[in-house]
Structure 1
């Protein structure tokens, strides 16, 4: 490749040769500009012991996007009451679902697998021009560490992909907030794009519908009702303009259309209520019990808002919510797993990423 000499101690170097144009000889080699893709999920404790759980819960519950009460009111309650007792309860829940073989949460295991599969797909198309990684909003690997690592690998452009099909300020917004906090500390900021809500994307919906069809085919008794259970939010978030509740309702409607279900065969509910104020509803744990009392003995539950199985699905749904249904007279409870690292899900993530990478790759 031609090199055009400018003087005795500098040279104009073509892109890809590792030196800046007109850089003096001896200038540190710089990696060629690449594009990074970062899958982002909620987070995970490093372990299930008291102090690991306390660190994780402290970070999570101190996020103003998650709990927006005034700090003077919330922090004393959090530090002196909630974080004294809650780590024991949450630690027990995590221990019941912990990946003992890898000594990590299932969310971490699944997100790593999703990342590896997506990397294989994108690298087969774009080669070493793309770097794929993942981060957690709370816990490790942190958003800051992953963005810095990608920049060190030569990523001048980064696509940040929050794994939340429905937009919510306590999920999507706080994940993006963390990206921008890192950018504020960098002398040389990479260009960043963020992936918007993708609950209407046809590939995501087809993967979701496919998971339901497979679960119904495998069920010994056909479910009479499919309960689409989403993580809840306080009702005032909806009143303040957060679109999450509406996105969840639309997801159920689109899934219903994809499956050709009647109105009586599918319902929308919300789980994981925290605190005394009114949340959007109906509450999943109460509704499944009501269905049993109404004579619906066979139901299935799916969690369209979660891209990977986690404590809210593996412990709350498959244990607490299942028990509530069976105790009320239900007979068969079918859990439809999250899309996790299914090939059709990863294909959907690839399609969405390619769409948002237009012009970069």
Structure 2
């Protein structure tokens, strides 16, 4: 039996010319902005016009592209060596799109779709599946695709989170540090409409804290906060900037719990913009832990096994 694994993620610009495409595709997604199509297009146009210059400059500082691409390619390369399935990746808002990858999977008997989002949200998992199955139906592949919707409680996943936190901590005493789990925010309106993302994030923090305790790693305090807020609407709280301002100790480790692969929101927003805020707030140390990246290999292998291989 010929098997394929398809890793799904949001994506990011492969070059500076793709920044506009990334923003255009994201803000025209009905799962992101739930307005009628014409109104959504107008809102997207306004957002792109206001954010394009700044976003392009941010990616320029990251080397002219999103780091998500190289990290994902390394993960795929690793898994292709270790598994009895061929591994591919699909991005939602930048190439390679589902329409680019699926035609090459027509000869496969089973396709295991695994989102690189551990927590289910209509804005991430559902959006990626919308696009994947739209294209799969055109090729009569939809019945060969097996899906998974969440895995934040997975043992390998939470052990990998703690490994990254330990790497960030090094030989330092955890009791001298606060640990903040930083998750990508969503508008309160999306949560109020029934999206389970915030519930899953909170449960993930519970499992990660449990694993920290199991390994005898005791921080002064651990916290949850949300980043990436834009626009005038109310977003889920507490906001990361407010959480940083409220911490008792001026030594902090940030773990980007909403992400499995490093991207502009970890390597620029957290590691540059929030770092500047922390310095303004008088922090002695501000450390951002790496996302799982290639450590996702063990998680993917476990999920692949669970999905019925």
Q: What corresponds to 1:273 in structure 2? A: 229
Q: Which residue of 2 aligns with 1:108?
A: 69
1:1-361 matched pairs, under 5 angstroms:
34-49=2-17, 52-79=18-45, 81-98=46-63, 104-123=65-84, 130-151=85-106, 154-187=107-140, 189-219=142-172, 223-260=176-213, 265-291=221-247, 295-342=248-295, 345-356=296-307, 358=308, 361=309
**How far apart are 1:95 and its partner, in Å?**
1.3
1:115 CA drift (Å)? 0.9
- CA distance in 2 between partners of 1:273 and 1:221 (Å): 29
Query: 1:285: Cα distance to partner?
Result: 2.1
Q: 1:249 to 1:187 in 2, by over 3 A?
A: closer
Seen in structure 2, the aligned counterparts of structure 1 residues 187 and 346 have a Cα distance that, compared at 3 Å, is: closer
Distance, in Å, in 2 between the alignment partners of 1:233 and 1:181 is: 25
Paired position in structure 2 for 1:26: none
Q: 1:187 to 1:355 in 2, by over 3 A?
A: closer
Q: What SS is found at the alignment partner of 1:138?
A: coil
Counterpart of 2:16 in 1: which secondary structure?
A: coil
User: Which consecutive residues of structure 1, in runs of 5 or more, have no partner in the other structure?
Assistant: 1-32, 124-129
Query: What secondary structure, in the 3-state scheme, does the structure 2 residue paired with 1:93 have?
Result: helix
CA distance in 2, matches of 1:274, 1:136: 22
Q: Which digits, 9 at most, give the CA deviation of each residue in 1:275-294, with x for residues without a partner?
A: 21111111112211232xxx
Q: 1:221 to 1:207 in 2, by over 3 A?
A: closer
Question: Once the two structures are superposed, what CA deviation does each residue of 1:81-120 show, in whole Å capped at 9, x if it has no partner?
Answer: 322232111111111113x6xxx42100000111111121
When the two chains are superposed, the root-mean-square deviation of aligned CA atoms in Å is: 1.9
Aligned residue-pair number: 306
C-alpha distance in 1 between matches for 2:157 and 2:88:
21
Tell me, in whole angstroms, the C-alpha distance in 2 between the residues paired with 1:206 and 1:148. Answer: 36
Distance apart, 1:221 and its partner CA: 8.4
Deviation of 1:189 (Å): 4.7
In the TM superposition, residue 171 of structure 1 has moved relative to its aligned partner by: 0.6
What are the superposed Cα offsets for residues 163-215 of structure 1, whole Å, 9 maximum, x if unpaired? Answer: 00111110111011111101231246551111221000011011111111222
**TM-fit CA distance, 1:330:** 1.1
Counterpart Cα distance in 1 of 2:14 and 2:256: 24
* Aligned partners of 2:121 and 2:197 also within 8 Å: yes
> Shift of residue 222 of structure 1?
6.3
User: Which residue of 2 is the match for residue 19 of structure 1?
Assistant: none
- SS of equivalent to 1:257: helix
1:216 is displaced (CA, Å) by 1.2
- Checking the alignment, whether the CA contact within 8 Å between 1:230 and 1:271 is kept in structure 2 is yes
Q: Return the alpha-carbon distance in structure 2 between the equivalents of residues 67 and 198 of structure 1.
A: 26
TM-score between both structures, scaled by the size of structure 2: 0.93
Q: Give the CA deviation at 1:66.
A: 1.1
Q: Which has the larger radius of gyration?
A: 1
Displacement of 1:70 in angstroms is: 3.1
Higher RCO (CA 8 Å, separation ≥ 6 residues): 2
> Following the alignment from structure 1 to structure 2, what is the Cα–Cα distance between the partners of residues 223 and 180?
48
Cα distance in 2 for partners of 1:149, 1:169 equals 27
Relative to 1, partners in 2 of residues 1:188 and 1:234: Cα closer, same or farther, differing over 3 Å?
closer
Between structures 1 and 2, the one with greater helix share: 2
